Structure 1
Amino acid sequence: MVSAGVLTQTALSEAKENLGPETDTTFASLAHILYALACNPTYQEKLYQDLASRRFPTDLNTLENIPRLRACVKEGIRWAGASVAILPRVVPQGGVELCGKFVPEGTIITSSPVWYLRDKYAYPNPELFNPYRWIDASGSNTTEDVLRDRFYIPFSKGANTCIANQLAAGATS
């Protein structure tokens, strides 16, 4: 940015604004995951056993292939709802039909990922941390659930998806 003629102070300010949301939400999510595991010794012990059986790997490739770890991370992101921001969107020219009702252009519609992540139909007992939403009882296989997966949008969706989505996808896929 500086080489393009942007003032140094402006470039630093922009960099800070871009890093802040990513680090804040990442650390908040990690803190919530660790807290949830500390409050749930059974989950903690099973995750520990999974990691120990693989000799406590540190490479991302191995970590990504531990279903219980992926489930704990996904559930932690869902449960913590690190970003509770209301995400306003403006209805485009010509308006749209939404759930059978016409919404005129220029109307501001808001939503928040937390509303989806706490939906009681997609996530029964949404206030509880439960990694088994994502894996079978053995902890070795991921499970399929169309509604759950459709409502898992902690980073929003579509053209306005948070760029941290790709970072988190590496940790949960």
Structure 2
Amino acid sequence: MEGSQTSTADDRLRWDRLTDKQRACLDLLLERKTSKEIARALGISKFTVDQRLRTARAVLGAAGRDDAALRYARLRKICDRIAYHPVDIPAEATIVPSDFADGVPDAILDIRESAGIAHPSGGPAAPSGKIWRHDHALAARFLIIAALLSTLIIFLAGSIGIAEVLTRLLAG
């Protein structure tokens, strides 16, 4: 059994007889975890881990934990291979002509309307869509930034003033 990497019917039978729960315990056993650590990792009792490992040892025909780990590692290498299927590549997309006069279906509910996103025909726009748009001139952008900064400065000055008045009131 040692050294062989070819799958036999007996190997496949042993692999198929192992349950997913036993395999989960054996996977952690391969990481040199104790029964207590395996139990914590899987959220089960130590007794349950020992029972699953004992049953797995019987299935694998192993004499002890180390032998079971070695046999399981060998079986996993042989039997637990992922079979890859070739990916189906879809045919190239083709452009279909529109049945609408202007190319935009007005009668059909546009998902952008319910989400509040700007509509190309001038429908409902996002809240910041009228303030900061990509087509604003550079001077308009600087004016917007200056207005926002001045608002922030006024807010901070007011906050400092209120804090000063409250400090005076508390100090007496």
TM-score, structure 2 length as denominator?
0.19
Would you tell me which structure has more strand in proportion to its own residues? 1
Instruction: Between the two structures, name the one with larger relative contact order (CA 8 Å, sep ≥ 6).
Output: 1
Normalised by the length of structure 1, the TM-score is 0.19
Q: Specify the structure having the higher radius of gyration (Cα).
A: 2
